[in-house]
Amino acid sequence: MATLKEQLENRTKEYDHWATRRRYGDKGPNNRRLWVLACMDERLPVDEALGIHVDTPVGGGDAHCFRNAGGIVTDDAIRSAMLTCHFFGTQEIVIVQHTQCGMLSANAADLEAALAKKGVDIANLALDPTLPELKLAKGAFAKWIGMMDDVDQTCLKTVEAFRNHPLIPKTVTVSGWIWEVETRRLRPPTLDSEKRTRTDVTAAQFGVKGKQPARWG
């Protein structure tokens, strides 16, 4: 049996490597060589949903985790995934979206109109002040917001978008999952209505009328 002195020395050495792992590029990956894309919703507990440790510093560090509204494909999500996969040793991407998502709760065209009513010049926006060349085409703002008609359908499309993106290596494993807020259960995305019983997964269940602006080509 190791002495306490030896255990403490090993623990210190392991923590030092944990703290400095970015110095080693793809030779210093996170614990699971994993990148997680998840919705920013506070009711989606990534650690509980996936059975990993993302946010705890000591003994954690299982994955890089990127959260945005809806857990969807955005230019910055692609940017982050590209960096972790090509330069930080990541070999797997897991996408987690969820029922009761706020991105189901309104039509993006209505949100766009509400911003315009508040005086926001939708046609002349600096999406990133440091990259003035990054612009939206005319009429693309509502699409950019990224509201959903159906969480499961969006999850399936998000998986395909990462699998097929030229900046993501073909060797990277990509999967998508739905966290049921109502039942605290993780399941694969599905369009089977029976498997989605007792959960709100569509905009229609929120009383939203009309299809969202077509984000997906």
**Where are the domains positioned within the chain?**
29-105+148-208, 107-146
- The answer to whether residue 55 scores a pLDDT higher than 80 is no
Closest CA to 196 of 121, 116, 97, 122: 97
- The answer to whether residue 126 scores a pLDDT higher than 70 is yes
Dihedrals φ, ψ of 38, to 5°?
-140, 155
pLDDT in tens, 143-162: 999 999 999 999 999 999 99
Q: What is the pLDDT of residue 214?
A: 85
- How far CA 169 is from CA of 32, 46, 73, 78, 162, in Å, comes to 17, 24, 16, 12, 9
State mean pLDDT over 195-211. Answer: 94
CATH number for the 29-105+148-208 domain, one of 3.40.1050.10, 3.90.1580.10, 1.20.1250.20, 1.10.10.10? 3.40.1050.10
pTM: 0.93
The first and second tokens of residue 15, run together, are 């923590």
Least confident range from 42-46, 60-64, 201-205: namely 60-64
Q: What is the pLDDT of residue 207?
A: 95
Closest CA to 84 of 136, 16, 137, 25: 25
Q: What is the pLDDT of residue 215?
A: 83
pLDDT in tens, 56-68: 655 578 999 999 9
Q: What is the pLDDT of residue 217?
A: 54
State mean pLDDT over 101-114. Answer: 96
The CA-based angle 18-86-186, given to 5 degrees, is 70
